[in-house]
A = this chain, B = another copy of it.
Amino acid sequence: MTVNFAILGAGRIGQVHAKAVTSTPGAHLVAIADPVTETAKKVADTYGCDIRSIEEIAASEDVDAVAICTPTPTHADLIEQFAKAGKAVFCEKPVDLSLARVKACLKTVEAEAAILMVGFQRRFDPDFMALKQTIDVGRIGDVEMITLTSRDPGPPPYEYIKVSGGIFRDMTIHDFDVARWLLGEEVDTVQAAASVLTDPKIGDLGDFDSINVILTTASGKQCTITNTRRAAYGYDQRIEVLGSKGSVSAENHREANIEIADDKGYLRPPLLNFFMSRYENAYANEIAAFVDAVSNRAPTPTTGQDGLMALALADAALKSVEDGRAIKLSEVLG
Contacts and interface: CB of A to CB of B under 8 A. Distances in A.
Contacts of A268: 265-267
Given A261-B246, A268-B266, A193 B212 contact: no
Contact of A232 (B216, B231, B256, B262): B262
B210 A212 contact: no
A8 to B, nearest CB: 26
Interface in A103-157: 126-127, 130-131, 134, 139-140, 142, 144-145, 147, 149, 151
Nearest to A147: B226
Nearest to A213: B214
Given A131-B258, A144-B210, A263 B233 contact: yes
A70 interface: no
Interface string A240-282: 0010111111111111111111111111111000000000000
B232 A145 contact: no
A260 B267 CA distance: 9
B266 A232 contact: no
A228 interface: yes
A265 B267 contact: yes
Interface stretch (A167-175, A194-202, A306-314): A194-202
A293 interface: no
Interface stretch (A33-41, A49-57, A217-225): A217-225
A198 B221 CA distance: 11
Contacts of A326: 191, 193, 324-325
A210 B142 CA distance: 14
A242 B253 contact: no
Contacts of A264: 267, 270
Contact of A262 (B198, B233, B251, B253): B233
A180 interface: no
How many copies are assembled? 4
Given A126-B256, A147-B147, A232-B263, A220 B196 contact: yes
A230 interface: yes
A233 B247 contact: yes
Contacts of A250: 256-258
Given A226-B147, A226-B224, A259 B249 contact: yes
Nearest to A130: B256
Contacts of A228: 144-145, 242
A212 to B, nearest CB: 5
B269 A265 contact: yes
A230 B261 CA distance: 13
B212 A145 contact: yes
Contacts of A189: 193, 324
Contacts of A216: 193, 195
Most buried by B among A139, A259, A260, A326: A260
Given A145-B226, A212-B214, A245 B262 contact: yes
A-B pairs, top 3 by smallest CB distance, nearest first, are A195-B220, A246-B262, A130-B256
23 contacts: A130-B255, A130-B256, A131-B256, A139-B260, A142-B197, A147-B147, A189-B324, A195-B216, A195-B222, A211-B222, A214-B224, A228-B242, A231-B242, A233-B247, A233-B263, A246-B260, A247-B262, A248-B258, A250-B256, A250-B258, A251-B259, A254-B266, A267-B268
